Amino acid sequence: MRAFTYERATSAREAAAKAQETPGAKFIAGGTNLLDLMKLEIETPRHLIDVNGLEFDKIEKTKDGGLRIGALVRNTALAADMRVRRDYGVLSRALLAGASGQLRNKATTAGNLLQRTRCPYFYDTNQPCNKRSPGSGCAAIVGFSRQLGVIGVSETCIATNPSDMAVAMRALDAEVETIDAGGRTRKIPIADFYRLPGDTPDVETTLSSGELITAVTLPPPLGGTHIYKKVRDRASCAFALVSVAAVLQRDGTGRVAVGGVAPKPWRIEKAEAELRGGAKPFSTRLLADAKPTRENAFKVPLVERTVAAAMHEARQQ
Amino acid sequence: MANPGEPEVSRRGVLVGGTATAMIGILPGRQAQAQPARSDAFRQGFDVSFEVNGKRSSLQLDTRTTLLDALRERLQLTGTKKGCDHGQCGACTVIVNGVRINSCLTLAVMHQGDKITTIEGLGTPDQLHPMQAAFVKHDGYQCGYCTPGQICSAVAVLDEIKAGIPSHVSPDLASTPELTNIEVRERMSGNICRCGAYSNIAEAIAEAAGSKK
């Protein structure tokens, strides 16, 4: 691990300003992803700003009847919150499907949104990777790509976003609240939060330099049946090959976001018009622009089958 | 980088090694000589104090020190094991403020004022914690390397179930989770046992929980 200086933040505004003005500064909260990457020297911050002391650890009702989740709320606490379990079951289920008990106890809401890809070539510092080392090339496209992306990918990067939580947040249309170095606050719809790789796969979100996530807000409850279905190589403690976050209504309408297939949670609202026709027309439209590799082509039919399984499960409830 | 001469910075408790002179006041001379760092500008010592197994510890640490390394290398509490050092195996599991975490994926300096329980704090050879006794009785290990992490995790799992925290296999999010074999196995999935003692570990946990389900 490279050496770094460390400070404990006492105000969000000061932390954002400090992060912007300090070369190589990064925020640290749970640290479960950042420290993993720092040990491999994939992340090499020169200064860490510990934001754990900021008071962003509460889940509160919003005026419009939604929920405001503090950036520092731990994944376990969020999944276990009774309001989330009752009104946003897809979010509880997505969180509980991710990582292990120990990691969920430490990982935060904001950190979960910002976790880096699990592409094996991003992790292997002996291999080229445009995300880790811009311009070095992509070993994944010609390599072991079974786990990697089939849509939204580019010629320079086929990595996927590993988060389960973000897939549920996308289905729910959450908003990411931030404060920037100038003290300005804004709300970013989760649909606009992640960037597709294009020629700059190292730039993953629309956050500006120093911008700090303070909360994630959920709209008022949507009702319906909430399902999170995750297909993975192990029954527990493994990243998704494909996952489906679905909120399905009795009249056959609904919202469906898919994980494990793209650099961001993959949802196309127009495709949801096909949900009444079943999983096939929906997923055909959702993945119309898919460009899978030979090794991950199985994900295209797997999405359809996982959506079908989610719809079947919803009908049983 | 902030100006290390600025008094405001030191009031916030920031130790910025911007110059060699700033370092002299921070590191004991012995350490400064014995461990040449990559760059003088980043050679650090950071004060942190926490409570481990009921005993207060104050340490001056390189900021890179994980909680795991602080426990093992500085406090000689070698019961907690380093397995993968990347949060995948669970051998380093300890209980911090009542919650189990991977001590390898957290910096020691992030634990100012925390209460940490390691395997050494759960029981003693003469007076085992009920979970330790159950692991012995049910032969919940072979080589024993993952065992301290398994036991710390298991103790916390029972508390998590008692607190009503659901899991991936809980059939209904609305109801209170039950202590079943499948629940225990799912909740223990962050603790890997290379010897494959899982059945006996599950039996030991069931016994310690006072349930044979």
pLDDT at position B44 is 54
Q: What tens digit of pLDDT does each residue of A173-214 get?
A: 999 999 999 999 999 999 999 999 999 999 999 999 999 999
B76 vs B35: which has the higher pLDDT: B76
Question: How many beta carbons lie within 10 A of that of residue A196, not counting itself?
Answer: 15
Residues of chain B contacting residue A79, judged by C-beta atoms under 8 Å apart = 165-166
Helix (H, G, I), strand (E, B) or coil at A59: strand
Residues of chain A contacting residue B166, judged by C-beta atoms under 8 Å apart = 79-80, 85, 92, 96
C-alpha span between B142 and A268 (Å, rounded):
51
Q: What tens digit of pLDDT does each residue of B127-138 get?
A: 999 999 999 999
pLDDT at position B43 is 58
The answer to whether residue A66 scores a pLDDT higher than 90 is yes
The answer to whether residue B196 scores a pLDDT higher than 80 is yes
CB nearest A22 (choices: B2, B44, B110): B2
Closest Cα of chain B to A93: distance in Å?
7
Average pLDDT of the residues of chain A: 98
Task: Return the half-sphere exposure (C-beta side, CA atoms, 13 A cut-off) of residue A191.
Answer: 7
**Rounded (5°) CA angle B206-A97-A177:** 130
The answer to whether residue B7 scores a pLDDT higher than 60 is no
**What is the ipTM, given to two decimal places?**
0.97
C-alpha span between B182 and B179 (Å, rounded):
8
Q: What is the mean pLDDT of residues A24-46?
A: 98
Is A102 in contact with B153 (Cβ distance < 8 A)?
yes
Return the closest-CA partner of residue A241 out of A294, A300, A308. A300
Residue B42: pLDDT band by 50, 70, 90 thresholds? low
Closest Cα of chain B to A288: distance in Å?
31
The answer to whether residue B186 scores a pLDDT higher than 90 is yes
Q: What tens digit of pLDDT does each residue of A235-280 get?
A: 999 999 999 999 999 999 999 999 999 999 999 999 999 999 999 9
| Rounded (10°) CA dihedral A157, A286, A294, A195 | 0
Token pair 């300090």 is found at A22
Q: What is the mean pLDDT of residues A57-74?
A: 98
Q: What is the mean pLDDT of residues A297-313?
A: 98
Is B190 in contact with A35 (Cβ distance < 8 A)?
no
Q: What tens digit of pLDDT does each residue of A138-182 get?
A: 999 999 999 999 999 999 999 999 999 999 999 999 999 999 999
Helix (H, G, I), strand (E, B) or coil at A190: helix
Which of A1, A2, A5 is the mutation pick for testing B, counting most B CBs within 10 A?
A5
Query: Cβ(A91)–Cβ(A84) under 8 Å?
Result: yes
**Is A205 in the B-facing interface, judged by CB distances under 8 Å?**
no
Helix (H, G, I), strand (E, B) or coil at B58: strand
Residue B23: pLDDT band by 50, 70, 90 thresholds? very low
Which of B101, B117, B159, B160 is the mutation pick for testing A, counting most A CBs within 10 A?
B101
Q: What is the mean pLDDT of residues B74-79?
A: 98
pLDDT at position B3 is 41
CB burial readout B162-191, b (16+ within 10 A) else e:
eeebbbbbbeebeeebebbeebbbbbbbbb
Query: Cβ(A130)–Cβ(A150) under 8 Å?
Result: no
Residue A317: pLDDT band by 50, 70, 90 thresholds? confident
Residues in chain A: 317
**Is A288 in the B-facing interface, judged by CB distances under 8 Å?**
no
The answer to whether residue B170 scores a pLDDT higher than 80 is yes
Q: Name the helix (H) or strand (E) containing A216.
A: strand A212-218
